[in-house]
């Protein structure tokens, strides 16, 4: 079971022996005791036991009641001795009870006597319990054989359950501690982003960033005591172990880690009085062991390398260790206060400096790591922070200035500059966040203003649409009179009226469309149909419109912008089952074949001052577009069918078709 990759693979082993679960469920109670109905024979035996115990209970209660009255029972308690029910009889009156003595109390004042009348019942109970034990033994022996026959499978199931439990524990830990699964690397890369030491409480831990590239074989971390150097080593070590065990890392997204075959560390003081080892001696022995075992797949963490002896010799010893580890290709992270080691990064390939930050103004470490820059030990600042005497501080300053190097001053200047830049970056970040917030607020206000303008524009469009509707109605009335009247003067007068109305309609339509573009979300009316819909999209001079749940594609020149229609309650009626009395069905016809039929039907509808349905279906839309073009050319009032009438599959024509 060593190569599982998915939970599905694991689940294939979670198949218990056939019948095993059923037998266990039938046999055991949740507390592990044997169920009464585990076998038919056990049901009968336990029923017999309960009956005998009830008889014993009744008989004992009578004996106790009589004994209390006659004064030979010392305590009114039902007592068992050697799994047999007995009476606690006063020693001075034991002759009043005939039976077998099973012992006496420690004080000798009470005898435990089994009355003759109870002997047969106690014997029956003992025999029944013996039968119960034999039956349970048979049952357990059957289960034992089932387990023995399937021992390998059961062991595999246990192993799988352990793996599943481990996966669940890892996932739970990762979720609880806001962990991530790092990107897997195989070249020694370690890139920790916002890493938190899992052993430090969340309210105290300071996240660290640490980037070690494949070429960085030795990383030397320097800086002040209490600045976080050792904590960084421990965090890297814990992360390496967690990554190897498949535990999510408490860090941020983007973290990368490489797997190492071995992890060796030398952190802390290993001096031993018993073994006569000083600090330096113990460090030498540990370093020798590490150098012997190191290779290119080894991660090594050494704290305060070269300490415990004279600084110059300690630096020489540290360099010897570094030379060996570089030759073996190990990934090494060291901490030190020795200036000679800090200089190695400028002289040897594969060595990189890093430092922990220190806030000079606050006189406190920042616990941040700066790559490619050595750090100062900050001994003076730490001495001052500890609150020692002024005399000691001044003497320290005077003696320190003699050996205080130019490079230390440069490092101090660099760190001061870095702190200043970080403060500026933080300020810029705050300003950027403020700008983003202001931009969001501006956009919200702009949308509100735009909405108000659109609402005002919508009122204007609605007013223009109403004018158009009235004019078209007058025009349709004039056309109707023109068709039905036989008076020549009346015909001429109506013709002139129609021409004037057409000019007014064109003027209003031009005004309503001026400066307004049709786009997604706009409510439009199909010219000449009184049909209003919402534009879903605009493409290649055409708009896709949602009309009561049906989608219709119409050229832009056939549309005019209108306001959002008021919601009206429409009774849903299928036109197939409840059609109006007057209708025509032209489905399946070509436009050329259908138009003569449509024209005849429209004339009859208009003459009867009623309305009618033209059923043309949805299809490709060619037939419906042809019908609508014809009706517009004849200035016939029409609209697309509503949801209950057939939607875009029908067209309603005639008077009063709101």
Helices and strands counted in the chain (H then E)? 15, 23
Strand partners, 651: 614, 640
Which residue's entry shows tokens 């034992």?
A: 144
Cβ atoms within 10 Å, residue 539: 8
| Domain ranges (residues) in the chain | 7-17+152-175, 20-149, 179-375, 570-658
pLDDT score, position 254: 92
| Cβ-based neighbour number of residue 37 at 10 Å | 11
Q: Which residues contact 434 (CB under 8 A, 6 or more apart)?
A: none
Question: What is the CATH class of 570-658?
Answer: alpha beta
Long-range contact pairs involving 437-441 (C-beta distance under 8 Å, separation at least 24) = none
Bridge partners of 277, per DSSP, are 272
Q: Reply yes or no on whether the pLDDT at 1 is more than 50.
A: no
Report the relative pairing of strands 523-526 and 550-555 from DSSP bridges: unpaired
CB 72 within 8 A of CB 130: no
User: HEC string of 265-333?
Assistant: EECCCCCECCCCECHHHHHHHHHHHHHHHCCCCEEEEECCCCCCCCHHHHHHHHHHHHHHHHHHCCEEE
Q: pLDDT value at position 578? A: 40
Query: For the chain, what is the largest distance between any 2 Cα atoms, rounded to a whole number of angstroms?
Result: 148
Q: What pLDDT, on a 0 to 100 scale, did the predictor assign at position 2?
A: 44
Using only C-alpha atoms, the chain has a radius of gyration, in whole angstroms, of 49
The burial class, CB within 10 Å (0-12 / 13-18 / 19+), for 529 is buried
> Residue 105: its pLDDT value, please?
87
| Residue 239 banded pLDDT, cuts 50, 70, 90 | very high
Tens digits of residue pLDDT in 320-355: 999 999 999 999 999 998 888 888 888 888 999 998
List, in sequence order, the alpha helices (H) in 343-405: 379-385, 390-403
Q: Which residue has the higher pLDDT, 402 or 533?
A: 533
d(CA 351, CA 356): 17
Closest CA to 330 of 367, 302, 364: 302
Distance CA 389, CA 380 (A): 13
Domains 20-149 and 570-658 share a fold: no
CA distance linking residue 473 with residue 505, whole number of Å: 11
Residue in the block written with tokens 């200089």? 343
At 573 the pLDDT is 39
Cβ(303)–Cβ(230) below 8 Å: yes
For the domain bounded by 179-375, which CATH number is listed? 3.40.50.300
Lowest-confidence pick of 162-176, 181-195, 407-421, 561-575:
561-575
**What's the pLDDT score for residue 554?**
80
Residue 369 backbone dihedrals phi, psi, to 5 degrees: -110, 130
Mean pLDDT, rounded, for 404-433: 66
CA gap 132, 40 in Å, rounded: 12
CATH number for 20-149 (one of 3.20.20.110, 3.40.50.720, 1.10.10.410, 1.10.1420.10): it is 1.10.1420.10
Residue 143: pLDDT over 80 = yes
pLDDT band at residue 617 under the 50/70/90 scheme: confident
Provide the mean pLDDT of the chain: 80
Q: What is the percent of the chain where pLDDT is above 90?
A: 25
* pLDDT for 533: 84
Give me the DSSP letters along 332-344.
Answer: EEEE---HHHHGG
Task: For residues 244 and 197, give the distance between their C-alpha atoms in angstroms, rounded to a whole number.
Answer: 16
pLDDT at residue 271 in the model? 47
Is the Cβ–Cβ distance between 139 and 39 less than 8 Å? yes
**Per-residue confidence (pLDDT) for residue 72, from 0 to 100:** 86
Which DSSP helix (H) or strand (E) runs through 104?
Answer: strand 99-104
- The pLDDT tens digits of the residues spanning 44-78 come to 999 999 999 999 999 988 888 888 888 888 777 88
Rounded Cα distance between 262 and 582, Å, is: 91
The pLDDT confidence band at residue 273, using thresholds 50, 70 and 90, is very low
pLDDT computed for residue 293 by the predictor? 93
Q: What is the mean pLDDT of residues 413-440?
A: 72
pLDDT band at 577 (very low <50, low <70, confident <90, very high): very low
Please, is 405 exposed, middle or buried when counting C-beta atoms within 10 Å of its C-beta (0-12, 13-18, 19+)?
Answer: exposed
Residue 398 pLDDT exceeds 80: no
Q: Tell me what the mean pLDDT of segment 490-505 comes to.
A: 64
CB 256 within 8 A of CB 195: no
The span from the CA of 143 to the CA of 145, in Å, is 5
Tell me what pLDDT residue 575 has: 37
How far is residue 342's CA from residue 218's CA, in Å, rounded to a whole number?
11
Residue 360 predicted with pLDDT over 80: no
């Amino acid at each position: 079971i060593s190569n599982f990759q998915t939970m599905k693979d694991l689940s294939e082993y979670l198949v218990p022996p056939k019948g095993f679960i059923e037998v266990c469920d039938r046999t055991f109670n949740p507390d592990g005791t044997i169920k009464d109905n585990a076998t038919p024979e056990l049901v009968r035996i336990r029923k017999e036991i309960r009956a005998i115990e009830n008889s014993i209970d009744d008989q004992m209660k009578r004996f106790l009641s009589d004994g209390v009255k006659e004064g030979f029972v010392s305590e009114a308690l039902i007592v068992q001795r050697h799994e047999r029910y007995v009476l606690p009889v006063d020693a001075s009156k034991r002759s009043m009870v005939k039976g077998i003595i099973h012992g006496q109390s420690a004080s000798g004042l009470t005898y435990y006597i089994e009355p003759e009348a109870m002997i047969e019942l106690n014997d029956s109970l003992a025999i029944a319990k013996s039968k119960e034990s034999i039956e349970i033994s048979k049952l357990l022996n059957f289960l034992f054989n089932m387990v023995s026959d399937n021992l390998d499978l059961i062991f595999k199931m246990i192993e799988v359950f352990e793996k599943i439990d481990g996966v669940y524990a890892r996932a739970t830990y990762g979720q609880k501690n806001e962990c991530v699964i790092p990107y897997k690397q195989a070249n020694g890369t370690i890139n920790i982003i916002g890493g938190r030491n899992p052993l430090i409480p969340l309210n105290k831990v300071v996240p660290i960033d640490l980037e070690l590239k494949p070429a960085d074989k030795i990383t030397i971390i320097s800086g002040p005591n209490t600045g976080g150097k050792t904590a960084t080593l421990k965090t890297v070590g814990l992360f390496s172990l967690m990554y190897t065990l498949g535990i999510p890392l408490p860090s941020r997204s983007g973290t990368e880690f490489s797997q190492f075959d071995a992890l060796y560390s030398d952190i802390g003081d290993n001096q031993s009085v018993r073994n006569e080892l000083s600090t330096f001696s113990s460090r030498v022995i540990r370093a020798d062991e590490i150098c012997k075992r190191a290779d290119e797949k080894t991660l090594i963490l050494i704290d305060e390398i070269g300490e415990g002896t004279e600084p110059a010799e300690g630096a020489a010893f540290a360099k010897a260790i570094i030379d060996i580890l570089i030759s073996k290709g190990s990934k090494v992270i060291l901490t030190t206060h020795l200036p000679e080691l800090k200089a190695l990064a400028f002289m040897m390939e594969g060595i990189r400096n890093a430092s922990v930050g220190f806030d000079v103004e606050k006189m406190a470490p920042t616990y941040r790591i700066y790559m490619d820059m050595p750090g100062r030990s900050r001994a003076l600042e730490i001495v001052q922070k500890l609150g020692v005497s002024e005399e000691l501080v001044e003497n320290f300053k005077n003696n320190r200035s003699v050996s205080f190097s130019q490079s230390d001053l440069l490092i101090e200047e660099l760190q001061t500059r870095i702190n200043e830049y970080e403060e500026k970056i933080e300020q810029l970040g705050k300003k950027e966040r403020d700008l983003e917030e202001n931009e969001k607020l501006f956009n919200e206000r702009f949308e509100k203003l735009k909405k108000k303008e659109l609402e005002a524009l919508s009122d204007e469009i609605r007013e223009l649409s109403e004018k158009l509707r009235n004019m078209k109605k007058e025009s349709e009335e004039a056309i109707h009179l023109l068709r039905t009247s036989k008076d020549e003067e009346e015909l001429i007068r109506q013709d002139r009226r129609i021409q004037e109305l057409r000019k007014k309609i064109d003027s209003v339509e031009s005004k309503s469309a001026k400066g307004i573009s049709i786009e997604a979300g706009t409510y439009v009316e199909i010219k000449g149909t009184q049909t209003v819909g919402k534009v879903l999209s605009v493409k290649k001079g055409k708009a896709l419109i949602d009309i009561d749940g049906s989608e219709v594609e119409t050229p832009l020149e056939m549309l005019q912008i209108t306001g959002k229609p008021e919601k009206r309650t429409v009774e849903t009626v299928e036109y197939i089952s409840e059609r109006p009395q007057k209708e025509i069905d032209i489905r399946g016809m070509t436009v050329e074949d259908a138009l003569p039929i449509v024209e005849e039907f429209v004339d009859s509808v208009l003459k009867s001052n009623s309305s009618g349905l033209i059923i043309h279906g949805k299809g490709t839309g060619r037939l419906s577009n042809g019908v609508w073009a014809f009706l517009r050319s004849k200035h016939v009032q029409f609209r697309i069918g509503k949801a209950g009438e057939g939607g875009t599959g029908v067209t309603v024509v005639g008077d009063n078709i709101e």
